[in-house]
A and B are shown apart, each in its own frame.
Chain A
Amino acid sequence: MLVLGIDTSSSSASVALLDDGQLLGEVLVNSTKTHSQKLLPIIDQLLCNCDVKVKDLDLIGVATGPGSFTGVRIGLSTAKGLAHPFNIPLVEVSTLEAMGYNLVFADTLVCPIFDARRDQVYTRVMAWEQGLLKTIIADENCLIDELMDQLEALARPVTFIGDGVLKFETRLKERLGERAIMAPQNTRMPRGSSVAQCAFDKPENARRKYDDVKANYLRKSEAERTYEENQQAGQGAELSEKE
């Protein structure tokens, strides 16, 4: 079974091709070019090198976030466009869950952190138990301090990956001491192979039709949040007037 994995939710774009669990190829580009310029060329490069056409694919795993909103949409739109003409099933994969596959069989907790600005992170906490990736804390968008509280309570060694490592390394070490381990560079970015493997491992009922996949933003748009805050404030004012 040929599985294409796609991830564009961070600054890097990565794609990989698996055949029945065997990795045929992988490309990762972490340059300043936009995903719109990077993604299809690396897919083409990968497929050409493996002598595979889009129509030969049996499954496309696509990382749906959380991460860069625009990046996630470029990956998702591309996956949908590739899948549509041939009705290739799609599997939505959380970027953070897939990153658990970057550190297969780690004996610590695995914690990807993406910088979500304003001291916030997109994160998830996982653990490998008897060859299976278990979720300890599901995908969340929280303050780095909140994450550190949660990790402190778990009282176990944690290996950190993701682009947030660069930014938060010092604070993580200060707070968690020796329990905070920074993974080596080559495992820190989302990888197409992790997404493809993760998609391959999902049960059959996780396969979706091309029009039935959604982005996993974990966060409303700024405009929606402001609107809802104003609505609540407005309602509050009305209530107090009545009282």
Chain B
Amino acid sequence: MKKNLITLAIETSCDETSVAIMKNGRTVLANVIYSQIDIHEKFGGVVPEVASRNHVEKISQIIDQALEEAQVTFDDIDMVGTTYGPGLVGALLVGLSTAKALAYAMEVPLVPVNHIEGHIFANFIEYPDLEPPFLCLVVSGGHTHLVHVMDYGNYEIMGKTRDDAAGEAYDKVARTLGLGYPGGPKIDKMAREGNPEAIHFTRTYLEKDTFDFSFSGIKSGVLNYVNSARQKKEPLNLPDIAASFQASVIDVLTTKTIDAARKAGVDKVALAGGVAANSALRQALVDKCGQEGFEFFYPSLKLCTDNAAMIGCVAYYDYLSGIRGDLNTNAVPNLKIGDK
């Protein structure tokens, strides 16, 4: 049996066109990411049709770049991994169609991958020795999940958002404050100059014992505050609003994460998803996990954003457990964690 398994992985679920070459799941030989963020900025958010058009134009070049960077050829590829959901259907279909055709032409297995599982697995790339079980907080533009990772391929969703994802709340608040798109990094940056205790926005914890989230209340709290100040013609301290909004979101996220970790009976906590790049959230979890005696893991910035390396990592473990796509594998825009 061949010793190393080389995966070519493709990710096009939103506005990043990414291709990675992975060795045995955790070693990144190449992870090329082409971000369309500048293209979508003028629209104030990702436009699905525009994203899909750019994916199909760029994908072949990105594949070539990844192969070159990894110093491998198609002959070295043992399998193709690709995101098939969740995400924007038109965008997913570009990566999936390309991956299916590549796997078919090269006569290697196709492994369809869940994007959210990819975010969690970014931690396995960052920490080669990390093993399940652990509790993972997944926060991105479209998702807020607390996932008990019991084993590779075995997950329990302990809590999820009932309305807005944390990332959506960031985008809406950023728009109200006139900070533009994308909201996460802009608020994070401005919050560093503000006082997180200047304004108290009500935290929403929902019923006792639930690990679900709700961020629409916090978001409305900020919008109401801003509107009433504008009506009264009072000056707005944007850094203070950003810092206070962020503090309220982070309070809820960290409190629920620690509670869920305790309930799951794990001693490790991991962070994942685009919002994992948020510096204040990372720091809060570093502090809280330290105080409460949990070991804390989080991916480096490049592995937090959408990238194909994390997809290749999932593909490797799914491949080992026998998961294969076939010629009629389709995109599943609202795919849930753990569904196969």
B-binding residues in A (CB < 8 A): 33-34, 36-41, 43-44, 54-55, 69-70, 73-74, 76-82, 84-86, 210-211, 214-215, 217, 221-224, 227
Contacts and interface: CB of A to CB of B under 8 A. Distances in A.
Contacts of A76: 56
A86 B93 contact: no
Q: List 8 A-B pairs, minimum CB-CB distance, nearest first.
A: A81-B101, A211-B60, A77-B97, A221-B49, A54-B105, A223-B47, A85-B74, A40-B327
A81 B80 CA distance: 11
B49 A80 contact: no
Given A40-B100, A81-B99, 20 more contacts: A36-B329, A40-B104, A43-B104, A44-B327, A54-B104, A54-B105, A73-B53, A78-B100, A79-B101, A80-B98, A81-B101, A81-B104, A81-B105, A82-B104, A85-B106, A210-B60, A215-B56, A222-B49, A227-B42, A227-B43
Contacts of A36: 93, 96-97, 328-331
A70 B90 contact: yes
B50 interface: yes
B263 to A, nearest CB: 40
A92 to B, nearest CB: 13
B59 A34 contact: no
Interface string B296-340: 000000000000000000000000000000011111000000000
Given A36-B330, A81-B100, A55 B105 contact: yes
A222 B95 CA distance: 22
A223 B50 contact: yes
B97 A78 contact: yes
17 contacts: A40-B104, A43-B104, A69-B90, A73-B52, A73-B56, A74-B97, A77-B56, A77-B59, A77-B95, A80-B56, A82-B101, A84-B102, A214-B57, A217-B53, A221-B53, A223-B49, A223-B50
B64 interface: yes
B191 interface: no
Contacts of A215: 53, 56
Contacts of A78: 97-98, 100-101
Interface string B104-124: 111000000000000000000
B28 interface: no
A224 B42 CA distance: 10
A211 B94 CA distance: 14
Contacts of A214: 57
A40 B101 contact: yes
Interface string B43-66: 100010110110011011101100
Given A210-B60, A223-B43, A38 B328 contact: yes
Nearest to B331: A36
Contact of A221 (B47, B98, B100, B330): B47
Contacts of B95: 77
Looking at chain B's contact residues, the main secondary structure is helix
Interface of B: 42-43, 47, 49-50, 52-53, 56-57, 59-61, 63-64, 74, 89-90, 93-102, 104-106, 327-331
A73 to B, nearest CB: 5
B60 A84 contact: yes
B284 to A, nearest CB: 36
A54 B96 CA distance: 18
Contacts of A223: 43, 47, 49-50
Nearest to B62: A211
A221 B49 CA distance: 6
Contacts of B96: 36
B163 to A, nearest CB: 25
Contacts of B329: 36
A43 B327 CA distance: 10
A80 B105 contact: no
A43 B104 CA distance: 10
B94 A77 contact: yes
Nearest to B50: A221
Contacts of A211: 60-61, 64
Contacts of A80: 56, 59-60, 98, 101
B91 to A, nearest CB: 10
A196 B101 CA distance: 18
Nearest to A222: B49
Contacts of A70: 52, 89-90, 93
Contacts of B93: 36, 70, 73-74, 77
A20 B243 CA distance: 69
A69 B60 contact: no
Given A78-B101, A80-B60, A73 B90 contact: yes
Contacts of A217: 53
B101 A41 contact: no
A192 B4 CA distance: 40
A13 B106 CA distance: 23
A77 B49 contact: no
Chain B CB count within 10 A is highest, among A80, A85, A227, for A85
A86 B49 contact: no
Nearest to A85: B74
Contact of A73 (B60, B61, B97): B97
